[in-house]
Structure 1
C-alpha cells in the first residue's frame, strides 16, 4: 500500500470563528419566533433541510414542517425529491452548494453563508487541481465536505456513509485513488479496503480534537458502554470504537445495539437525534480535553453553530443569503455527485 501526503495548508492555518452568541429568548418569545418561521416557510413555499449537527431546535422544526434532518447524503437526496420552490439548508456551505448543484431551478438559502467547514477551507481548488494534475493516473475521489470547484475536479464525490463501498468498487477495478480532503477518513478507508491511495492533508477541527488517552479514561469509568466513532477522528480513537460510521450509522447503532450506554465521538449535535430515537439509553460525549477529562466534551462545529432560529427567520424575510454557483462549475460538479447517487441506488451504503 502506498500513501502520500501533499504539501497542503495545515489545519492550523484555518481561522476558526468564536462561538456565536444569540440573545436569550423567553419561552413566549421563542414560541412566537417559531410561529413566524412556520408562517414564512409556508408563504415562501420553502422547506428546511437540516444536518444532524445543527441545533436541536432547528432539527425539530425541520421535522415538524415536513423537511429533512439527515446526513449529507440523505440531505442531497431529499433536495432532489422535494417539490418546494426554496430549499433552506441549515448546515454548512458545501451542503448548500450541493443542493444548488442538484437543483439549479430552485432557490437555495442558508441562515449564514459564512458557515463553512475546515475540510473545505483546507482544500483550495487551485492547489487541489495542481495536485490532481501531478497524478493523472489516479481516480479522484473527494469527500462531500469540499467546495463546488473541488467537486468539479473530481471523478467521484462520496459521503462517509458510502465512501467504503465506492472505494472497494474502484479498487476491484484496479484503479489507483487520489483522496481528499480528510486524511483520517482516508487512512481509515485504506486500512479497511487495502486501496492504494494518495491522501490530501486535511482534517476536521472537531473530530481531530478527540483524545485517545482521555477516551480510555472514560471507557474505564463506563465499562458497559459501547464506543461510537466517526471515521474523521484520529486512528488511535477509531481503534477504540465498537462502531465506526457516518452520522446515520451511529444513530442506528444507538437504537440497535443492546448496550445501556454509548460514548459518542462525533459532533455533539448528533445527541439530539440519538436522545429522540433512544430515550432509554445513556449518552456520554467523548472527551476532547486532556488531563482530568471524564465525560465532558466541547465537540461542536463552530460553523454549524452559526445556524439558529434568529437568522433562519431573517433569511426567510430577506432572501439575502442565497447560494450562487458558476454554471460551468455546477455542470462539472454535477457529474461526480450524480455518480455517487446512482451508485447509492444500485448498491446501498454499508450499514
Structure 2
C-alpha cells in the first residue's frame, strides 16, 4: 500500500479502534473481531482475493449480515492469483492428482475459488512466505515419500528448492537445528519429491533481475541485502551469499523487517558512530513499517547516555536506472519528518525525489494495490453513511456456487487455510489432512 495511505490510517488508529494494517492472512481474523465488536460494515483495502477471503471467513463465523466492501468498481487483480486460475495451473494439479501421495502447498495470495478447486483435486494446505519452508519440511516428515506440489509463485518455488539444496550440503546436526526430524538423506529425498509451478510471477518482484543485481554489486557491495522469497533467483542468490557473511536476509516481509530492526538496534547499542545501508529487495510499500520501526529505535537511542550516532539508509534497487548514491546528508522522501530524523534516516527510492520508481518506468510498486486510495475509501464510507445508497458495486464477492463435487466454494476454500492455522498452532499437519493425503476421498474425510 502507498506509504501515505498506511501513514494516515496508522495515525487514525489513535482515535478509531477499528482500523487494522496487516498481511492478507490476518485481515480476515481481524474482520471477525471487528464484527464481534459490533461493526456493521467492513472495508478492505487490498486486492480482490483479500476481500473475498474476508467475506468467506465472516460467513463461516456467522456474520453473514455484516457487509464487506472493496475499494473499486473495477477488478482489483493480482498477477499471482491470476496465474493460479490458468489452464496451465489446472494441468499442474492434474499431474499432481495422478502421483499419490501428493500434497498441494498453495501460496495464501490466491483466490478462495482457486483454493477450493485445488483442494478437490489434490489435498491442499495454504502457506505464507514465513512458513512455507517449515510447512514442506513438516509434511515430508509426517508422510515419507510424499510428493509436494508448490504454486503458483515460480520464483518462490525455485528459491525454496535452492534453500533445500543448500541444506543437503549441511551436516546432520545443522539440519536438525532447522527441523529435528530431518537429516541429509531426508532432504535429498525431499528434493526428488518437490515440484513447483513454472509460470507464475508477481509483476513487482519480477523487476529484481540481472541488471539490478549488477548495480547492487557495483554500488552497494558493502550494504546489508534483503530479498523476499518471491524475487528472481539472481537477487535471491545475492542475498543468500550476503546472509552467509552475516550481511543479509532472505524470507518473508516480517523476516526482512526483523533483520533490519535488529541490525539498527545493535548499532544503537554500540558505542560507535554507525552508518547502515539496507538494500530492500521487495515491494516499496513495505517501507512504511520499516521507517516507523527504525525511527522508534533511533529516537529511543537519543535518550540513552551513549554518545554514538547511528544513521540509516534504505535503498530500492527498482531498476538499473533507478540506483542513486547519496551521502548521509543527502536524504529524500521524508518531508513530514523533523530535521533530526532526516539527518539520521535516508530513503533512496530510485531517482532522487521519486516515488520508488525509475524515470524509465520501473516501479517496485503494485499497480493493483495502488487502486486502494484514500479517495476511494472516503467515497465508499460517504455512500455507506447515506440511507438507501449502499454502494453495491463495491461489495466483496460472495461465493454461492458449488465445486464440481457439489460442495460450497466458500467452505472448501476455507479448509486449506484452516489446515495451515492448525499447523501454525501445533507444528504438525492436522490428521484430517493426513487422511486426505493417504488416499482417503476428500468428501469422506471432511464428513468424518
Query: Fold match, TM over 0.5?
Result: yes
Indicate how the Cα distance of structure 1 residues 292 and 101 shifts in structure 2: closer, same or farther if over 3 A, else same.
closer
What residue is the counterpart of 2:315 in the other structure? 284
SS at the partner of 1:68? coil
- 1:229-255 alpha-carbon deviations (Å, 9 max, x no partner): 111101111011111121222122221
- Which protein has greater RCO, CA pairs closer than 8 Å, 6+ apart? 1
What residue is the counterpart of 1:58 in the other structure? 5
Q: Unmatched 5+ residue regions in structure 1?
A: 1-53
| RMSD of aligned Cα (Å) | 2.3
Question: If the length of structure 1 is used for normalisation, what is the TM-score?
Answer: 0.77
In the alignment, the residues of structure 2 paired with residue 89 and residue 345 of structure 1 have an alpha-carbon distance, to the nearest angstrom, of: 26
SS at the partner of 2:21? strand
SS at the partner of 1:190? helix
Indicate how the Cα distance of structure 1 residues 143 and 126 shifts in structure 2: closer, same or farther if over 3 A, else same.
same
After TM superposition, the structure 1 = structure 2 runs for residues 74-153 of structure 1, keeping only pairs within 5 Å, are: 74-82=26-34, 83=36, 84-104=39-59, 105=63, 106-112=66-72, 114-124=75-85, 127-136=88-97, 137=100, 138-152=102-116, 153=118
Higher mean alpha-carbon deviation, 78-87 vs 323-332, is at: 78-87
SS at the partner of 1:255? helix
- 1:156-206 alpha-carbon deviations (Å, 9 max, x no partner): 111111211111111212221112110111112223245422222201111
After TM superposition, the structure 1 = structure 2 runs for residues 194-209 of structure 1, keeping only pairs within 5 Å, are: 194=187, 195=190, 196-200=193-197, 201-209=199-207
SS at the partner of 1:70? coil
In the alignment, the residues of structure 2 paired with residue 126 and residue 221 of structure 1 have an alpha-carbon distance, to the nearest angstrom, of: 42
Is 2:254 aligned against 1:248? yes
- 1:87-120 alpha-carbon deviations (Å, 9 max, x no partner): 3111111111221221112322111252110011
Shift of 1:215: 3.0
Shift of 1:293: 4.2
Shift of 1:212: 3.5
Partners of 1:72 and 1:159 within 8 A in 2: no
Among 262, 275, 286, the residue aligned to 2:278 = 262
Indicate how the Cα distance of structure 1 residues 307 and 100 shifts in structure 2: closer, same or farther if over 3 A, else same.
same
In the alignment, the residues of structure 2 paired with residue 338 and residue 184 of structure 1 have an alpha-carbon distance, to the nearest angstrom, of: 25
What residue is the counterpart of 1:179 in the other structure? 150
Partners of 1:71 and 1:248 within 8 A in 2: no
- 1:107-154 alpha-carbon deviations (Å, 9 max, x no partner): 221112521100111221665344323321221111112121111123
Larger radius of gyration: 2
Indicate how the Cα distance of structure 1 residues 332 and 212 shifts in structure 2: closer, same or farther if over 3 A, else same.
same
Q: Unmatched 5+ residue regions in structure 2?
A: 165-186, 240-247, 268-275, 299-311, 325-347, 351-356, 358-362, 384-389, 401-407, 429-448
SS at the partner of 2:315? strand
Partners of 2:205 and 2:232 within 8 A in 1: yes
In the alignment, the residues of structure 2 paired with residue 81 and residue 159 of structure 1 have an alpha-carbon distance, to the nearest angstrom, of: 22
Partners of 2:225 and 2:279 within 8 A in 1: yes
Partners of 1:128 and 1:150 within 8 A in 2: no
Partners of 2:83 and 2:89 within 8 A in 1: no
Partners of 1:211 and 1:290 within 8 A in 2: no
- 1:216-236 alpha-carbon deviations (Å, 9 max, x no partner): 423442344211111110111
Query: Runs in 1 of length 4+ with deviation above 6 angstroms?
Result: none
